[in-house]
Copies of this chain bind each other. A is one copy, B any other.
Amino acid sequence: MYNMKEWKHVFKLDPNKEISEGQLEQVCESGTDAVIVGGTDNVTLEDVLQLLSRIRRFTVPCVLEISNLDAITPGFDFYFIPMVFNSKDKKWMLDVQHQAIKEFGNIINWNELFVEGYCIMNQQAKAFQHTDCYLPEKEDVIAYAQMAENMLHTPIFYLEYSGVYGDPTLAEQVKRNLSNTLLFYGGGIRSAKQAQEMGKHADVIVVGDVLYDDFKNGLTTVEAVKGKK
C-alpha cells in the first residue's frame, strides 16, 4: 500500500512510549495502511531508530513524521513534514522546515517527502501549546483547507484534535473543499464507532493514543474503516 491516495487508516506510534513485541506485531499486521512514527515530547534519534527497526520486521509502510531535527534518519518509506497553519509563529509554519531543508536539502529524496498542512484544534494539547497556536473558527479552518488544496498544494491537510474526539461535521465541511489534498483526521478515536464516523468524512483516520491504554479497542478501528482483512 504505497499509494497514499488509497489509504483509509493509519496507526501513529510514539517513540517515547512503550509497546510490547506482541502488540507491535498486531498493529503492523492489522491491515492498517501505514504506521507513522511521531510524537511531540522527547523524541530522540535513539528511540526513533529502535522503533523503526522493530516495525521494519513487518511489511507495513512506515512513515516518520518529523518533529525534531535531531531525530531524522534514513530508512523510512515516507517523511511527513508538518506545517502548522494555525500557529501564530512563522517558526512552525516555515522556519524550522527551512532550517531542515538548508541542512539536508541536497540529500533529500523529494519523492519521499510529504507536507502536512496542520490545523490543531485542541487548546489543551501539548502540540497546540508547543507550536503557539490559536483556536481557529470554522471559517478559518475551511480557508486553511482551501489554501492547502489550491495555493500550497500540500498532499495532506491534517485536522488534529490531539487527544480529544473532534467535530465530525467540521471534518465533513473541510472534506468538501478538498479534492487533491487528502484529509487526515487525528484525535480521540477510541472505538470502532468513532473510527467509522470520522472515516466517513476524512480520507485517512489516524489512531494513536488508544493503543497505549485500550489496545483491543484500538485494533478494532482498522476493520471499522477498511472492512474485514
Residues in A lying within 8 Å of B, measured CB to CB: 81, 85, 87-90, 93-94, 97-98, 101-102, 105, 108, 110, 113, 115, 139-140, 142-144, 146-147, 150-154
Please list the 8 inter-chain residue pairs (A to B) with the smallest Cβ-Cβ separation, ordered nearest first: A90-B90, A102-B143, A110-B150, A153-B153, A101-B143, A105-B146, A152-B152, A115-B151
A152 to chain B: which residues have CB within 8 Å?
A: 115, 152-154
Closest residue of chain B to A177 (Cβ to Cβ) is B105
Between A and B, 30 residue pairs with Cβ closer than 8 Å are: A81-B151, A85-B94, A88-B90, A89-B90, A90-B90, A90-B93, A90-B94, A93-B93, A97-B147, A97-B151, A98-B140, A98-B143, A98-B144, A98-B147, A101-B143, A101-B146, A101-B147, A102-B140, A102-B142, A105-B142, A105-B143, A105-B146, A108-B150, A110-B150, A113-B150, A113-B151, A115-B151, A152-B152, A152-B153, A153-B153
Nearest CB of B to A159, in Å: 16
Known A105-B142, A105-B143, A113-B151; judge A94-B97 contact (CB<8 A): no
| A215 to B: closest C-beta gap in Å | 36
Within the complex, the shortest CB–CB distance from A6 to chain B, in Å, comes to: 22
Q: Which of A81, A87, A151, A153 has the most CB of B within 10 A?
A: A151
Q: Which residues of B contact A88 (CB under 8 A)?
A: 90
* Smallest beta-carbon distance A1→chain B, Å: 24
**Complex-state Cα separation, A87 to B152, whole angstroms:** 17
When distances are taken between beta carbons in the complex, the residues of chain B under 8 Å from A89 are 90
**How near does chain B come to A79, taking the closest CB pair, in angstroms?**
11
